[in-house]
Structure 1
Amino acid sequence: MEMEYQLKGPYLIIRVGRELDHHQAERIRRTMEKISREREIRHIIFDFSETTFMDSSGVGMLISRYRDLSMCGGTVCAAGVGPVVEKLFYVSGLHKIIRVYSEVEDVFNGQE
């Protein structure tokens, strides 16, 4: 599955796809910039439920989105994080700045 997105109220939900490498990170960045020109996005949910690989480009893209949104009072969170991505979240320190939920719907229900 390739990257897909969905708008749900003030939330942009990004379904990352199987791999979050340099090419995919750039695709996501361009998509978010395009959407941001058309709508004010304050919250992004990254859905990693299909993701089996992520490299440092993905980590950098997530940090960049976090930095941009947190400066204007927005949030970035992740859902459906599997073991491979979870390990990278801990090694890189992403777990300290990006809240992780079991599923996308948990974000809207306030569950962790």
Structure 2
Amino acid sequence: MKLKISTPAKTIFQGEIEKISIPTENGNLKVMDGHSPMVASVKPGIIKLWPMENHVKVGNPIYISTSKGMVFIDGKIVRIVSAEATLAPEQSESTLLQSKQTLEERIKRLKTE
């Protein structure tokens, strides 16, 4: 399955994947090859993907933090368009989730000041 994650400024990831987990407004969406076509709203969170090369799984999962966006799935290609996204393969999912929580708390404090 092919994946492309992009922002208005650049492409964050483009390549072949085994599967992907995407935070959506209706919960985490898990997508594998042959998934039914759909469009969904992406919410801020952590995208987790399993890269492949020549149809063989390679390496560890890759984590990408994302802001709001949209995901388009046609069964063979997944396209995610987000206002902002950051590739962070060197950080664990728990570290990224903690960073997300800290930033959300800062935003709430700024809105109430």
- Regarding TM over 0.5, the answer is no
- If each structure's strand is expressed as a fraction of its own residues, which one has the higher value? 2
**TM-score of the superposed pair, with normalisation by structure 1:** 0.29
- If each structure's helix is expressed as a fraction of its own residues, which one has the higher value? 1
**TM-score of the superposed pair, with normalisation by structure 2:** 0.29
Who wins on radius of gyration, i.e. which is larger?
Answer: 2
